[in-house]
């Protein structure tokens, strides 16, 4: 114990240069201890973690930790080297206090930047129509608030009134505000988009005839990539004031990214309705891209001037497969119609000669047989569809009666409301007026 006290006395007896050198060595030693005793074990722990947010948090937090250790060491060194308190400049204490406040502010701001999106995703309502991800604008707003109060508190330690400076700049700010009114509108509307969240990055949206996938959402504008891989920059003011269609939300029965593929097909008036419907329906079911629920359907929608018009409804799981599905179905319809001898008419005036047409009797009998078989099978399909719709209508009425109960649990009510929405969409799924 006496040796330790003697060492302390020797160190305290050093001159100013000696104390400065010793203080520098101690600060360096503290930084090494921080590196190998705190940061490196922290990095090893993060490497074993499957989460990604802690990887992004390590570097900025480690840098601020080094600055914090250095500042503390410098503060203690100044107080130790300058033996008499009255010799310490009056600015040193508030300067170090302001530095500590700014360091704490930046640490809190960095934590908000990396942790808040994870928290928002973790505790947000993960409904079927919500695409994962959180809008960074909320993070920007909270970080701005933290930085403002932190800087204000740090300047107060230095006897500088930030609010007074801002008030003196009120007229100048008004002039700037009028000059950048459009820009400020975009910034405010970006916050409104963050609150309302009508779309997320990765959604396919349509605004004023422009259709594309959202690739980024900024303070001033939102960037959309169209099918030709052209980048469309849409001001946030336009998004707020225009009607926006989000093709990634809803998607049939509330499943995100699902989309319906609707194809209109015209056939000759001499073709049997059931024969055409069954042929197209089988192709839709055989398509590798379509899903089984909802089932594909074929409806007669119009008796046109030159043809009977049929509409095929099919669903794909992801809207990125819409065009390959359409390509597959159109190619298959063209080939199968040739095999089934189903004619697709041209919009021209032709003379129908009846029995003088170049069709053999055997071909007519084969075609009549196919039409009778198709008619019988389509009757079964229609009966099945009617039964499904009737069962859905009865179940919907039962759910609506159950929802009137005031003492129903919240989880049960949420499940029933989701099922009611699914049934309602199924009952209106084939309304041609909505297409």
> Are 139 and 72 members of one domain?
yes
The domain boundary, picked from 186, 216, 249, lies at 249
Instruction: Compute the mean pLDDT over every residue in the chain, rounded to the nearest whole number.
Output: 76
State the pLDDT at residue 87. Answer: 53
In this predicted structure, which of 63-77, 215-229, 302-316 has the lowest mean pLDDT? 215-229
> Are 281 and 310 members of one domain?
yes
Per-residue pLDDT at 252 exceeds 50: no
The three-class DSSP label of residue 422 is helix
The number of angstroms, rounded, from the C-alpha of 194 to the middle of its chain's C-alpha atoms is: 11
Strands 297-303 and 221-225: unpaired
Q: Residue 23 in contact with residue 77, Cβ under 8 Å?
A: yes
The 10 Å Cβ neighbour count of residue 198 is: 14
> Are 162 and 238 members of one domain?
no
> Are 368 and 298 members of one domain?
yes
Supply the DSSP string of 74-112, one letter for each residue.
HHHHHHHHS-SGGGS-TTHHHHHHHHHHHHHHHHHHHHH
- Residue 393 structural domain: 252-434
> Are 122 and 56 members of one domain?
yes
Question: How many domains does the chain fold into?
Answer: 3
> Are 212 and 171 members of one domain?
no
The domain boundary, picked from 249, 280, 308, lies at 249
pTM over the 0.85 mark: no
State the pLDDT at residue 310. Answer: 94
The domain boundary, picked from 208, 225, 249, lies at 249
> What is the DSSP secondary structure assignment for residue 320, as one 8-state letter?
G
> Are 72 and 199 members of one domain?
no
Segment 259-282 shows an average pLDDT of 89
Here the CATH number for the domain that contains residue 270 is 3.30.70.100
> Are 67 and 193 members of one domain?
no
State the pLDDT at residue 263. Answer: 92
List, in sequence order, every residue forming a beta bridge with 194; answer none if it has no partner: none
Whole-angstrom distance, CA of residue 113 vs CA of residue 143: 7
- The closest alpha carbon to 294, from 251, 332, 247, 246, belongs to 251
Q: Find the helix packing angle between 92-123 and 53-81, rounded to 10°.
A: 170
Residue 349: half-sphere exposure toward Cβ, Cα within 13 Å: 0
> Are 194 and 126 members of one domain?
no
> Are 214 and 313 members of one domain?
no
Rounded percentage of the chain residues whose pLDDT exceeds 90: 7
Tens-place pLDDT, residues 106-142: 888 888 887 777 776 666 544 433 433 345 667 777 8
Supply the DSSP string of 189-255, one letter for each residue.
HHHHHHHH----TT-EEEETTEEEEEEEE-SSEEEEE-TT--EEEEEHHHHHHS-EEETTSSHHHH-
Tens-place pLDDT, residues 355-405: 545 557 777 777 777 777 777 777 777 777 778 777 877 887 888 777 777
State the pLDDT at residue 128. Answer: 39
> Are 104 and 49 members of one domain?
yes
> Are 158 and 265 members of one domain?
no
Q: Under 8 Å CB-to-CB from 335, ≥6 apart: which residues?
A: none
> What is the DSSP secondary structure assignment for residue 341, as one 8-state letter?
T
Here the CATH number for the domain that contains residue 219 is 2.30.30.60
State the pLDDT at residue 196. Answer: 75
């Amino acid at each position: 114990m006496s040796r330790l006290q003697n060492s302390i006395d020797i160190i305290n007896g050093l001159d100013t240069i000696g104390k400065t050198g010793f203080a520098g060595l101690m600060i360096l030693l503290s930084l090494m201890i921080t590196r190998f005793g705190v940061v490196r074990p922290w990095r090893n722990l993060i490497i074993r973690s499957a989460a990604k947010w802690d990887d992004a948090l390590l570097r900025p937090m480690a840098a601020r930790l080094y600055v914090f250790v250095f500042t503390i060491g410098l503060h203690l060194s100044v107080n130790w080297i300058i033996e008499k308190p009255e010799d310490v400049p009056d600015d040193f204490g508030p300067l170090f206090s302001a530095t500590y406040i700014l360091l704490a502010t930046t640490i809190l701001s960095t934590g908000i930047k990396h942790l808040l999106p994870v928290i928002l995703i973790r505790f947000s309502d993960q409904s079927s129509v919500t695409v994962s991800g959180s809008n960074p604008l909320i993070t920007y707003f909270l970080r701005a608030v933290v930085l403002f109060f932190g800087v204000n508190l740090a300047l107060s330690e230095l006897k500088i009134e930030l609010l007074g400076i801002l008030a003196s700049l009120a007229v100048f700010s008004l002039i700037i505000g009028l000059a950048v009114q459009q820009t400020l509108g975009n910034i405010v509307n970006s916050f409104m988009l963050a609150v309302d969240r009508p779309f997320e990055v990765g959604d396919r949206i349509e605004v004023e005839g422009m259709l594309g996938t959202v690739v980024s959402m900024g303070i001033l504008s939102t960037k959309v990539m169209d099918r030709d891989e052209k980048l469309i920059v849409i001001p946030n003011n336009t998004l707020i004031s225009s009607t926006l269609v989000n093709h990634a939300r809803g998607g049939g029965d509330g499943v995100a990214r699902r989309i319906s593929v609707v194809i209109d097909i015209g056939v000759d008036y001499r073709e049997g309705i059931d024969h055409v419907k069954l042929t197209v329906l089988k192709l839709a079911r055989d398509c590798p891209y379509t899903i089984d629920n909802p089932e594909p359907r074929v409806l007669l929608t119009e008796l046109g001037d030159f043809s009977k018009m049929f509409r095929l409804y099919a669903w794909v799981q992801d809207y990125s497969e819409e065009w390959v599905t359409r390509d597959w179905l159109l190619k298959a319809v063209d080939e199968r119609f040739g095999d089934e001898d189903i004619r697709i008419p041209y919009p021209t005036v032709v003379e129908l000669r009846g029995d003088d047409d170049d069709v053999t009797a055997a071909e007519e009998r084969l075609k009549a047989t196919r039409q009778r078989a198709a008619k019988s099978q389509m009757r079964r399909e229609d009966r099945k569809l009617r039964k499904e719709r009737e069962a859905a209508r009865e179940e919907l009425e039962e759910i609506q009666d159950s929802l009137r109960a005031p003492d129903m649990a919240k989880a049960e009510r949420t499940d029933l409301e989701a099922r009611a929405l699914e049934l309602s969409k199924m009952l209106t799924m084939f309304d041609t007026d909505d297409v």
